């Protein structure tokens, strides 16, 4: 065990897990209230080609990856709305078509652009490869998430609760929606490095889903989701070291155990009462 | 009870719709050439079949549809000025299934939404804001439910919380979309009574309505729509018109 804490590689990974776990957990409160986990899952898969293309064009920096991801996300969001209008298909079907298409395109590009060795990293993450710059980025995104949700809490919650009424009361609904959307993409991006784009959705949904079972308070939901996210991610990393599992899978498995514990606890409470 | 509007100035508290036409992208005319006016203290029913333009009119009145933009024409004036200048005086109460039940709001938090036009995103609620919220809760008899989750309430209680939000907003005009839908008989009776109370206090209550049996007891004015204006006036007179009977499918 001491070996784990002595190794700089693992120290950095642990800090990364805490940071990424916290920011994902914190925003998962929003994702759960917005009923958007499956849409977000589609989105996280479709970010891949945008990132790959941007990395290929201008090299890997936080900004190039972010701009690539946002462009694809916007393109997919808008075209899914447009296609749903122009075809007899519903938006979920259109999203499924688009995101698998995007994902396949991303895989093909990784292959063709000789980025094969990075393929696994993007798909399943590599939390042990986090650089100091990556950690700083994760830290900044986490701070930004807390600041944005605290500062615009009233507007964000009103848009979530009843967007049309919020609009008539003077809330800048579109600004709030797009702002939060951009923030979610930033959080997802930092998550990709840790657990990859397939498992990322677990981190940005599960803590909120766990805590929502236990609380009716919005503040508690945000704070505890952040804490559970951080604990789950770091514990998952430790477990992966102990039993020699891929870190991403281990982190998500710990989160689902938390979810099941909350569910059973809730049933026991009801049974006693 | 305190009056909402000063009746001596009831002329100022008038909602005027002039030649309002709304065309959706693609050229589909939702409503054309609506003109009517109604003052505070009345209860106006919006009647018409599905797709007759009731929801579109409601959206235009609460400011969700841009008037005078693109293919939309006409004017909506409140107290002699374009509606956009006084949006906080108009409260919108959508259908009961429109709000997101995943947001754990208490009744009090829902009512506090009504103070947004005054406090905005960041300012803390002042003593005055808290008083307005408490008063609205009290008026709607919701003090005991203030800390309860909105999702735990019955349809009638939720509707009362939304009306309390409009009162905290200090709105003169309340615009309701099918408020009686999904309510049991007792809650319907209470809500109809409440709409009377609101209009006696000086509010203007505008509501889309389906159930023709309850039109007379609920409203004193009626606007009948069929993409255009079929009739407007006192309920008793409007409901006698042949054109209205035909449009609404009433058989004598």
* Digit-coded pLDDT (tens) for B210-234: 888 899 999 999 999 999 999 999 9
pTM of the model: 0.89
Rounded to 10 degrees, the C-alpha dihedral B161/B167/B173/B178 comes to 10
Q: How many CB atoms lie within 10 A of CB B149?
A: 16
Q: Identify the band that residue B6 occupies on the pLDDT scale cut at 50, 70 and 90.
A: very low
Collapsing DSSP states into helix, strand and coil, what is residue B48?
Answer: coil
- With a cut of 80, say whether residue A12 has pLDDT above it: yes
Q: Chains A and B: how many Cβ contacts under 8 Å?
A: 78
pLDDT at position B8 over 60? no
Which chain B residue has its CA at the smallest distance from A35's CA?
B102
Kindly report the CATH number assigned to the domain that includes residue B232.
3.40.50.300
Contact B102 A34 (CB under 8 A): yes
Q: What pLDDT shows up at residue B163?
A: 94
Share of chain B above pLDDT 90, in %: 65
Determine, for residues A168 and B63 on separate chains, whether the beta-carbon distance falls below 8 Å.
Answer: yes
B152: DSSP letter: G
Q: How many angstroms separate the most distant Cα atoms in chain A? A: 61
In which residue are the tokens 């992208």 written? B25
DSSP string, B163-196: HHHHHHTT-SEEEESSTTTT--HHHHHHHHHHHH
In this complex, do A169 and B100 lie within 8 Å of one another by their Cβ atoms? no
What pLDDT was estimated at residue B9? 42
Q: How close is the nearest chain A Cα to the Cα of B252, in Å?
A: 40
- In a domain, residue B43? The reply is yes
Chain B residues with CB under 8 Å of A165 CB are 92-94, 99, 113
Q: What is the mean pLDDT of residues A152-171?
A: 95
Average pLDDT over residues A6-33: 92
Could you tell me what percent of chain A has a pLDDT over 90?
47
- Asked whether the predicted pLDDT for residue A87 surpasses 60, the reply is yes
The Cα A265–Cα A155 span in angstroms is 33
Phi-psi region of A34 (alpha: psi -120 to 50; beta: other; left: phi over 0): alpha
In this structure, which topology does domain A19-272 adopt according to CATH?
ABC transporter involved in vitamin B12 uptake, BtuC (1.10.3470)
Segment A220-268, tens digit of pLDDT: 999 999 999 999 999 999 999 999 998 989 999 999 999 999 999 999 9
pLDDT at B2 over 70: no
d(CA B214, CA B204): 19
Residues spanned by the domain of B52: 7-248
Q: What pLDDT score does A197 carry?
A: 83
Q: Which residue has the higher pLDDT, B42 or A50?
A: B42
From the CB of residue A100, how many other CB atoms can be counted at a distance below 10 Å?
13
Q: What is the structure's pLDDT at A121?
A: 77
| Cβ-Cβ contacts under 8 Å, A216 against chain B | 104, 149
Report which of residues B68 and A97 the model is more confident about: A97
Q: Is the pLDDT of residue B10 over 80?
A: no
Q: Does A34 touch chain B (CB under 8 A)?
A: yes
Is pLDDT larger for residue B215 or for residue A80? B215
Q: What is the pLDDT averaged over residues A28-34? A: 94
Higher pLDDT, A160 or B50: A160
Q: Where are the domains of chain A?
A: 19-272
Minimal Cα distance from A151: which residue of B? B122
pLDDT of residue B146: 95
Mean pLDDT across chain A: 89
pLDDT attached to residue A242: 92
**pLDDT confidence of residue B181:** 87
Distance CA A98, CA A39 (A): 12
Q: What is the pLDDT of residues B57-80, one digit of tens each?
A: 999 999 898 887 777 888 899 888
> ipTM for the complex?
0.90
* pLDDT at residue A223, as a whole number: 97
Taking an 8 Å cut-off on Cβ atoms, the answer to whether B169 and A169 are in contact is yes
| Residue A217 distance to chain B (closest CA, Å) | 6
Q: Is the pLDDT of residue A53 over 60?
A: yes
* Phi and psi, residue B209, nearest 5°: -150, 140
Round to whole Å and give the CA distance between B250 and A61: 69
Residue B4 confidence class, pLDDT cut points 50, 70, 90: low
If contacts are CB pairs under 8 Å, which of residues 210-229 in chain A contact chain B?
Answer: 212, 215-218, 221
Q: Which helix (H) or strand (E) holds B224?
A: strand B221-225
pLDDT for position B70: 74
In A7-115, alpha helices (H): 8-33, 37-58, 62-86, 91-112
Q: Which of A32, A152, A168 shows the shortest C-beta gap to B62?
A: A168
Q: CB-based contact (8 Å) between A164 and chain B? A: yes
Chain B CA closest to residue A218: B104
- Rounded to the nearest integer, the mean pLDDT of chain B is 89
pLDDT for A103-143, tens place per residue?
898 888 888 877 666 777 778 888 888 888 889 989 999 99
A171 touching chain B per CB within 8 A: yes
Q: What is the pLDDT of residues B73-117, one digit of tens each?
A: 888 998 888 887 777 899 999 998 888 889 999 999 999 999 999
Residues of chain B in contact with residue A180, where contact means CB-CB under 8 angstroms, are none
Report the pLDDT value the prediction gives residue A1, as an integer from 0 to 100: 62
At B12 the pLDDT is 58
Q: Is residue B75 in some structural domain?
A: yes
A36 touches chain B (CB under 8 A): no
Taking Cα atoms as reference points, which of A246, A122, A241 lies closest to residue A189? A122
Q: Is pLDDT at B1 greater than 60 in this prediction?
A: no
Q: How many domains does chain B have?
A: 1
pLDDT at B7: 43
Q: Please report the pLDDT score of residue A2 as a whole number.
A: 66
Instruction: Name residues whose C-beta falls within 8 Å of residue A169's C-beta, 6 or more positions apart in sequence.
Output: A158, B87, B88, B113, B114, B116, B117, B169
Say which residue the tokens 């309430």 belong to. B153
């Amino acid at each position: 065990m001491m070996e784990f804490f002595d190794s700089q590689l693992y120290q950095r990974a642990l800090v990364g897990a805490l940071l990424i776990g916290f920011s994902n957990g914190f925003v998962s409160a929003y994702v759960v209230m917005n009923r958007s986990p499956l849409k977000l899952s589609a989105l996280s898969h479709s970010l891949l080609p945008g990132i790959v293309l941007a990395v290929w064009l201008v090299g890997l920096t936080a900004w190039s990856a972010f701009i690539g991801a946002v462009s694809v996300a916007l393109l997919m969001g808008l075209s899914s709305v447009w296609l749903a209008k122009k075809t007899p298909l519903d938006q979920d079907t259109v999203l499924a078509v688009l995101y698998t298409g995007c994902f396949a395109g991303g895989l093909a590009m990784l292959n063709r652009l000789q980025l094969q060795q990075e393929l696994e990293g993007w798909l399943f993450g590599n939390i042990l490869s986090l650089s100091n710059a990556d950690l700083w980025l994760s830290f900044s995104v986490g701070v930004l998430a807390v600041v944005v949700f605290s500062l615009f809490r009233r507007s964000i919650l009103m848009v979530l609760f009843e967007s049309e009424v919020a609009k008539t009361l003077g809330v800048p609904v579109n600004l709030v929606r797009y702002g939060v959307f951009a923030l979610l993409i930033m959080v997802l991006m930092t998550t990709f490095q840790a657990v990859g784009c397939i498992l990322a959705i677990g981190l940005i949904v599960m803590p909120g889903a766990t805590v929502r079972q236990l609380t009716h308070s919005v503040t508690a939901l945000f704070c505890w989701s952040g804490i559970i996210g951080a604990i789950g991610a770091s514990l998952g990393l430790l477990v992966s070291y102990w039993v020699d599992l891929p870190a991403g899978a281990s982190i998500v498995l710990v989160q689902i155990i938390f979810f099941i514990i909350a569910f059973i606890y809730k049933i026991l409470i009801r049974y006693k009462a | 009870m305190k009056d909402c509007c000063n009746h001596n100035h009831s002329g100022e508290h008038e909602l005027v719709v002039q030649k309002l036409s709304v065309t959706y992208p693609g050229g589909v005319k939702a409503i054309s050439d609506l003109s009517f006016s109604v003052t505070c203290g009345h209860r106006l029913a919006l009647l018409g079949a599905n797709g007759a333009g009731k929801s579109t009119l409601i959206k235009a009145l609460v400011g969700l549809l841009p008037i005078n933009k693109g293919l939309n024409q006409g004017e909506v004036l409140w107290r002699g000025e374009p509606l956009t200048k006084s949006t906080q005086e108009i409260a919108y109460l959508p259908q009961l299934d429109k709000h997101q039940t995943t947001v754990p709001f208490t009744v009090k938090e829902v009512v506090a939404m009504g103070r947004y036009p005054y406090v905005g995103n960041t300012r803390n609620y002042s003593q005055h804001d808290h008083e307005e919220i408490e008063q609205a809760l009290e008026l709607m008899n919701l003090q005991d439910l203030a800390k309860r989750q909105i999702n735990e309430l019955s349809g009638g209680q939720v509707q009362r919380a939304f009306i309390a939000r409009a009162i905290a907003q200090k709105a003169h005009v309340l615009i309701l979309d099918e408020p009686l839908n999904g309510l049991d008989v007792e809650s319907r009776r209470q809500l109809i009574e409440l709409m009377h109370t609101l209009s006696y206090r000086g509010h203007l209550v505008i509501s889309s309505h389906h159930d023709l049996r309850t039109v007379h007891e609920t409203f004193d004015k009626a606007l009948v729509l069929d993409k255009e204006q079929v009739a407007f006036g006192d309920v008793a007179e409007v409901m006698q018109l042949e054109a209205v009977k035909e449009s609404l499918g009433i058989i004598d």
